[in-house]
Amino acid sequence: MQRIGILGGSFDPVHRGHLGSAKELLAALGLDRLMLVPVAQHAFGKQAAASPAQRLAMLELATADVPGLSVDDIELQRSGPSYSIDTVAHYRDLFGPGAILCFIVGSDALPDLPRWHRWQDFPALTNFVVMQRAEDNFGNAQAKQAQASRAQSRGAAPKAQDICEGFEVIENNFNKPCGQLLQLQLSRLPFSSTTLRRLLGNAPNRLEGAQYEQHEHAKQYLSDALPPAVLDYINRYGLYQ
């Protein structure tokens, strides 16, 4: 019985936090394969900074030597918003009714789940993994303030079992093809795509002399966060400037 994970995202840009979480998911869930699915257009109107083709290229570069990870451009091939339920239905058809499908979301996505297209249909097609995402420790105060404001406007964050109606909440690994929900704490890594875009917009990796000294911390963050092939790609095409 195959165990397949599905992890969507903007990957704008992909960084070592994404890769670290992907490797942890492979191991913790005993996955045969983890599908990484870049979105073309969010259903809620969020816009990516890099083009779909650029984000796909960076993701393929970052995962080229990581066993168990597969990049799928299925959502980039669609016109209009990306609906997760359509992607899950595609993988259910592809891998068959007996495969254990694990659709992975961050805990910050749970409050929006009732707004998702056909969200009540998920339990009949897939299992859910609710993961705690890595925090950004570089000091992106504006992003943190915005997140806090959203949380305050929503009130207390609903628990997974309160939102994911129709799922069986479990504490151990999945033993059914669909209909189960597992909350999973992953290691926290100090990388964030939002922070990376902000730093790349300041072009610290191209500064010299005294200016370079002022931005050395940012330069080190970029080096630590981005696989070399991805950073080379960003520099070559002048992304996020």
Q: In this predicted model, what pLDDT tens digit does every residue of 76-109 receive, in sequence order?
A: 998 877 799 999 999 999 999 999 999 999 888 8
Domain of 23: which CATH number? 3.40.50.620
The answer to whether position 206 is within a domain reads no
The answer to whether position 182 is within a domain reads yes
Q: What is the pLDDT of residue 48?
A: 81
The answer to whether position 134 is within a domain reads yes
User: Pick from 33, 50, 11, 34: which is nearest to 201 by CA?
Assistant: 50
The answer to whether position 220 is within a domain reads no
Domains in the chain: how many in total? 1
The answer to whether position 240 is within a domain reads no
Q: What is the mean pLDDT of each run of 10 residues along the chain (241 residues)?
A: 96 96 97 96 70 97 98 92 92 98 90 84 96 52 44 50 76 96 87 91 57 69 96 96 89
The answer to whether position 96 is within a domain reads yes
- Residue 52, domain extent: 3-191
The answer to whether position 31 is within a domain reads yes
The answer to whether position 108 is within a domain reads yes
Question: Could you give the CA distance from residue 10 to residue 35 in angstroms, rounded to a whole number?
Answer: 14
